[in-house]
Structure 1
Amino acid sequence: MARPSLHDRVEAARAQRAALGRSRVRRTVARRDGAGCLVLDEGGDGRWLLDFCGNDYLGLSQHFAVVGALQDTASRDGAGGVASHLVCGHHATHDALEGEVADWLGTPRALLFGSGFLANLAVLQALLGDGDACVQDRLNHASLLDAARLSGCRLRRYPHGDAEGAIRQLRSLPEGAAVLATDGVFSMDGDVAPLRQLAIVARAQQALLYVDDAHGVGVLGPDGRGSVAAAKLGVAQVPLQLATLGKALGGYGAVVAGDAVLVAHLAETARPYLYTTALPPALAAASLAAVKLARKDHWRREKLQATIAQFRAGAIQRGLPLLPSDTAIQPLPVGDDRDACAWSEALEARGFMVAAIRPPTVPEGGARLRITLSAAHDPLQVDALLEALERARDQVAGARASHGDAAAAAPLAARA
């Protein structure tokens, strides 16, 4: 019996994505300047667009102190991490960054990883195995779901934001260690997990609560310490949490912070930490500068909150349907995959870059525009986006109505 052709399978999957309106196309950014980006088309020609879909929430990615730290360290220590941390790749700058983040988040220790995806893989694979379980919010990031599956433990999921659902899942499990894992801020909905309730659930069921706060650290809580601090929780309730360096802090990489014994265990046993090259010291230096700015520049969070309030008020005034989010992530549900793409294209024609998010990133029927706001945006830019959204809505609705009229007329034409 002949083996199936992987090439044919891939082609069939590509054709299916195209038929469903779910093809994914990379956009090439040639340059960034503040909230603007120069985007190249297929012919190599560029056009400046206002970026309303990135994750640079505090506007730190281009800050002169952050870029300067990167350049200075690269000129002294080179471009690469050279080796894994436990061979000869661990640098004094890595130590300094881990210490700064641990101090900021109020935890005994922190550990640096190359990305948030790697960090989540490391945590769950190092802590769980056969006979154990991981209970997760249904809308958790893909890295948490993959991490649980690769650990070999049982994966159970509860309805989004439902602490009672979480406790039901934990109660139904046989004996074995358990981790209750959740996003702090959900990346596609922009809402915040009910962390205080989940902490009670974890304590009652003797589970470890792990929070991936990739979209919370830097923007929420006192001094930007994230959703865990905003919920007035500490290491006793949340023994481990993830802080990304690639979103509000504008750099690259991630840090897992928390209980000293657990973090030390990760440093000695987590495969995504042991068997990969350390983050380049220059990138760590840039993130260290960004953390220091995020800690002291309270005005950045204040400006971001004012921008969020302006956008939501304007959207309500124009009848634009937003999900209930008070964070920098402001999803506008569209429903139909092709309509979401049409909205995105209409916005780009007016000078705005806003990504259309479709399944499987979001549930079936949940296609949306994922609009993100930053301290780098000014009020005039937000007003211009709101006007463009209103026009895009009317344009897509008009095109849909015309298409419907044409479809209805087709049988009459055939009979004639």
Structure 2
Amino acid sequence: MFDWLDDAAARRADAGLVRTLTPRTTESERLDLAGNDYLGLARDKRVAGAAAAAALKWGAGATGSRLVTGSTEVHAELEYELARFCGAQAALVFSSGFTANLGAVTALTGRDAAIVTDAYIHASLIEGCRLSRADVAAVAHTSPDAVEHALATRRKQRALVVTDSVFSVDGDLAPLRELSAVCRRHSSALLVDDAHGLGVLGEGGRGAVHAAGLAGEPDVITTVTLSKSLGAQGGAVLGPRRVIKHLVDTARSFIFDTALAPASAAAALAALRALRDEPELAERVRGRASELSARLADAGFAVSVPEGAVVSVRAPGPNEAAAWAADCAERGVRVGCFRPPSVPDGVSRLRLTARADLSDSDVDRAVAVVTETAPPDARR
């Protein structure tokens, strides 16, 4: 019955696309530039302490879906403060950023709607589009003109434009103001996945939607994850109250999923308050990303110019990228390795994620290790 899996595994191995699970330990001395803890809050005592206290108070899990027993005072407080911080009318917390995107896309579209997406949107948004049963058009990356053409020629009256704010592969930024203007010309709504913008962009880290002046607009919906800048786990949708109410009534990944654990909700709330109290964290992580990018470019690599915390370094191919990342880890620096099908343009990369708590010596070490372990043909 499953003999075909062996053939599929062999093809992946030939293409250099085998993935492995490598458990990390708490004692690791490696410099972590692979995770998404942009503000360095995942191990912050305020954040971890809030999680521990909530676990003792509420228990290890949420015990049920949000509509049964899974909604606690912590969830409600997090939703209120997250919406207020980001400038939205209301927010709804999901168990992950993936389920938040699934719920928002599927509940706000359907057979009688059209979806226009950037070609490089996150996999969770792609899955939402596939499940939506809507007419879906994926258009050229960061092209408002392509979006306008798709909206003007759509066959369905209702339409939703879907994009990331900061794209996870190269860290480039979507033209949100221009996209919003296009949507309004064609009576369409805009959904922005701000997973990589929250905590990094905008005033005090309020996100890319806030920075674009679109926070609180009646035709804009934002999704975020709590697992990156906030160092916790979970996701949320922010937008007009009537949109949030609609999701409570109709989003299947909200209704039929066990709620986010209270400990994770409390950790995210503590991290949000830390960001509110230390708005300089956002500027600090952007500065470290720019420094990493500039120094690696000076060393001769093809490097992205980061809008947020993500810096990508192009590799000659998938096998070379995997070996390069492994060599970096051997030298004590953990970096991300992006290969097809994770990269929409088919180009393999190392991905370095900056953190607000990186020191000057950390940056020196990272640049030295990436440079010294590079394949011979990795430079431009």
TM-score (norm 2): 0.96
Distance 1:76 1:311 in 2: 42
SS at match of 1:30: coil
The corresponding residue for 1:23 is: 18
Distance 2:218 2:185 in 1: 11
Matched residue type, 1:16: R
Matched residue type, 2:10: A
- Of 278-287 and 95-104, deviating more is 278-287
Asked if structure 2 preserves the Cα contact closer than 8 Å seen for 1:336 and 1:365, the reply is no
Inter-CA distance 309–323: structure 2 relative to 1 (3 Å threshold): closer
Structure 2: stretches of 5+ with no match in the other structure: none
The one of 397, 410, 413 aligned to 2:376: 397
CA displacement at 1:324 relative to structure 2 = 2.5
Distance 1:202 1:241 in 2: 15
Distance 2:31 2:325 in 1: 13
Distance 2:314 2:377 in 1: 18
SS at match of 2:246: helix
Matched residue type, 1:114: S
The corresponding residue for 1:131 is: 112
CA displacement at 1:346 relative to structure 2 = 2.0
Inter-CA distance 173–65: structure 2 relative to 1 (3 Å threshold): same
Matched residue type, 2:190: L
Is the aligned partner of 1:8 residue 2:3? yes
Question: Could you list the per-position Cα deviations for residues 270-289 of structure 1 after superposition, in whole angstroms to 9, with x for gaps in the alignment?
Answer: 11111111111121111111
Question: Could you list the per-position Cα deviations for residues 265-314 of structure 1 after superposition, in whole angstroms to 9, with x for gaps in the alignment?
Answer: 10111111111111111211111111111112123223213312321231
TM-score (norm 1): 0.88
Asked if structure 2 preserves the Cα contact closer than 8 Å seen for 1:315 and 1:386, the reply is yes
SS at match of 1:198: helix
Distance 1:134 1:254 in 2: 22
Distance 1:85 1:98 in 2: 13
Distance 1:208 1:87 in 2: 31
The one of 56, 67, 70 aligned to 1:89: 70
Asked if structure 2 preserves the Cα contact closer than 8 Å seen for 1:17 and 1:23, the reply is yes
Matches within 5 A, 1:262-341: 262-341=243-322
- Of 319-328 and 54-63, deviating more is 319-328
Distance 2:85 2:345 in 1: 39
The corresponding residue for 1:44 is: none
The one of 333, 337, 359 aligned to 1:352: 333
SS at match of 1:356: strand
Is the aligned partner of 1:174 residue 2:169? no
The corresponding residue for 2:360 is: 379
Asked if structure 1 preserves the Cα contact closer than 8 Å seen for 2:113 and 2:159, the reply is yes
- The number of residues matched between the two structures is 379
The corresponding residue for 2:83 is: 102
CA displacement at 1:398 relative to structure 2 = 7.6
Inter-CA distance 237–159: structure 2 relative to 1 (3 Å threshold): farther
SS at match of 1:29: coil
Distance 1:161 1:310 in 2: 25
The corresponding residue for 1:261 is: 242
SS at match of 2:154: coil
Q: Identity percentage over the alignment?
A: 37
Asked if structure 1 preserves the Cα contact closer than 8 Å seen for 2:214 and 2:220, the reply is no
Question: Could you list the per-position Cα deviations for residues 158-201 of structure 1 after superposition, in whole angstroms to 9, with x for gaps in the alignment?
Answer: 11101101111111211331100100110111011000010011
Question: Could you list the per-position Cα deviations for residues 114-170 of structure 1 after superposition, in whole angstroms to 9, with x for gaps in the alignment?
Answer: 001101111111111113111100000011111011011111011110110111111
SS at match of 1:14: helix
The one of 144, 151, 157 aligned to 1:163: 144
The corresponding residue for 2:182 is: 201
SS at match of 1:354: strand
Distance 1:203 1:192 in 2: 20
CA displacement at 1:92 relative to structure 2 = 0.8
Distance 1:372 1:61 in 2: 14
Q: Extract structure 1 runs of 4+ deviating beyond 3 A.
A: none
Matched residue type, 1:334: A
Distance 1:355 1:309 in 2: 17
Inter-CA distance 237–109: structure 2 relative to 1 (3 Å threshold): closer
Matched residue type, 1:378: S
SS at match of 1:397: coil
SS at match of 1:273: helix
Root-mean-square deviation (CA, aligned residues, Å) is: 1.6
CA displacement at 1:76 relative to structure 2 = 1.4
Matched residue type, 2:159: A
The corresponding residue for 1:153 is: 134
Asked if structure 2 preserves the Cα contact closer than 8 Å seen for 1:223 and 1:296, the reply is no
